[in-house]
Amino acid sequence: MNTEQPWFALEITAVSEASEAVEFGLNELDALGTEINNLGKQAAETLTVNGYFRELPNDETVRATLHEALRIYGFAPDAIRGFGSRKIGQVDWLFEWKKHWKPTETAKFIIAPSWENLENSDKIVVRIEPNMAFGTGTHETTRLCLKAIEENYQSGMSFLDVGTGTGILSIAAAKLNSKFQISDSKFAAYDTDFDSITIAGENAELNEVGEQIDFFVGAITEETPDVDFVCANITIDIITPLLPLLIAKSGKVLVLSGILKEQKSLIESELQKCRIEDFSLETMGEWISVTVKTEQL
């Protein structure tokens, strides 16, 4: 990555209740990170959500995407009170973001930034240095996938992470497997973004599982080896055409997320097209995950 290249912040002022919808919209615009300016402060009627970009999308695209995000979350367009943008340096971006990112705790894991001091815990700690790749463990879809791993991953299972981002899910599974003291399981992670794969590999080294996970730039194909457990935290438009392949590659468990609650009927229909009627759904906020026990098919 070229660290000398400037960054841009898109600043969206909205009613406080709509902050998650605005963050979703900014991620749909391919923001490389977001932060809310009043984390840790007293509640306010409005707040500003910042999205960080290499290049700013045009105003028309921004407004259309954010209005659709508001609609999905049940807000009218007037929930957004203002738009703005500014040019910033990379150091400024990282400094502001790191001030607000705190550890995320689940039943078995703690996802924490590399700089955070943690008290002694029996849980598995996954350290993440996100840099410019999406994924800090705080998003509902990541937590849904971690929950599915906690409940369904068994010692010795091979694991495939599709759309790995910063590598959280594959690293979590590898560290869970290490706790079982099984060393010969195979783990693989794919992402179409080169920078994400670079950062995911660095995060794996940070967590001392770098030698256990193979990272690949690109999409999975028919040649991708079959595994026991497939986790695909992507989006419905990517899941839909890939679904038959994802099912074929998962020998025991398939977990899908990145799916909005309003897309529930769509993913159910796609699963039925693949002759899958038995699956479980989990919901968190506006998002769902789907778990299929493929060994029973």
Same domain, 76 and 164: no
In a domain, 2, yes or no: no
pLDDT score for 143: 94
State the chain's maximal CA–CA distance in angstroms. 55
Same domain, 143 and 233: yes
In a domain, 185, yes or no: yes
pLDDT score for 35: 78
pLDDT score for 150: 97
pLDDT score for 33: 77
Q: State whether the Cα torsion 98-195-48-22 is positive or negative.
A: negative
Same domain, 11 and 136: no
Sequence letter at residue 49: V
Residue 69's domain comprises: 7-98
Integer-rounded Cα radius of gyration of the chain: 19
CATH number of the domain at 78, please.
3.30.70.260
CATH number of the domain at 142, please.
3.40.50.150
Same domain, 258 and 156: yes
> How many angstroms separate the CA atoms of 178 and 67, rounded?
45
pLDDT score for 224: 97
pLDDT score for 25: 94
pLDDT score for 1: 41
Sequence letter at residue 158: S
Query: Mapping DSSP to helix (H, G, I), strand (E, B) and coil, where does residue 19 land?
Result: helix
- pLDDT per residue, tens digit, the chain (297 aa), is 444 577 888 999 999 999 989 999 998 898 877 877 654 444 578 899 988 888 999 999 999 999 999 998 999 999 999 999 999 876 666 676 666 677 889 999 999 988 888 877 889 999 988 665 456 667 899 999 999 999 999 999 999 999 999 999 999 999 999 888 766 789 999 999 888 899 999 999 999 999 999 999 999 999 999 999 999 999 999 999 999 999 999 999 999 999 999 999 999 999 999 999 999 999 998 899 999 999 887
In a domain, 123, yes or no: yes
Same domain, 70 and 173: no
Same domain, 253 and 192: yes
Same domain, 221 and 291: yes
In a domain, 220, yes or no: yes
Q: Element (H or E) spanning 203, and its range?
A: helix 194-206
In a domain, 113, yes or no: yes
Same domain, 249 and 237: yes
Residue count of the chain: 297
pLDDT score for 154: 94
Final residue before a domain boundary, out of 76, 98, 120 = 98
**For the chain, what is the domain count?**
2
> How many angstroms separate the CA atoms of 167 and 213, rounded?
10
Same domain, 73 and 113: no
Same domain, 50 and 119: no
In a domain, 259, yes or no: yes
pLDDT score for 184: 75
In a domain, 58, yes or no: yes
Final residue before a domain boundary, out of 98, 117, 142 = 98
Sequence letter at residue 291: T
Final residue before a domain boundary, out of 73, 98, 123 = 98
Distances (CA, A) of 233 to 71, 189, 254, 255, 277: 23, 11, 11, 8, 21
User: pTM to 2 decimals?
Assistant: 0.84
Name residue 196's beta-bridge partners.
none
In a domain, 214, yes or no: yes
pLDDT score for 41: 47
pLDDT score for 31: 86
Compute how many other C-beta atoms are within 10 angstroms of the C-beta atom of residue 84. Answer: 11
Same domain, 281 and 229: yes
pLDDT score for 39: 46
Same domain, 183 and 286: yes
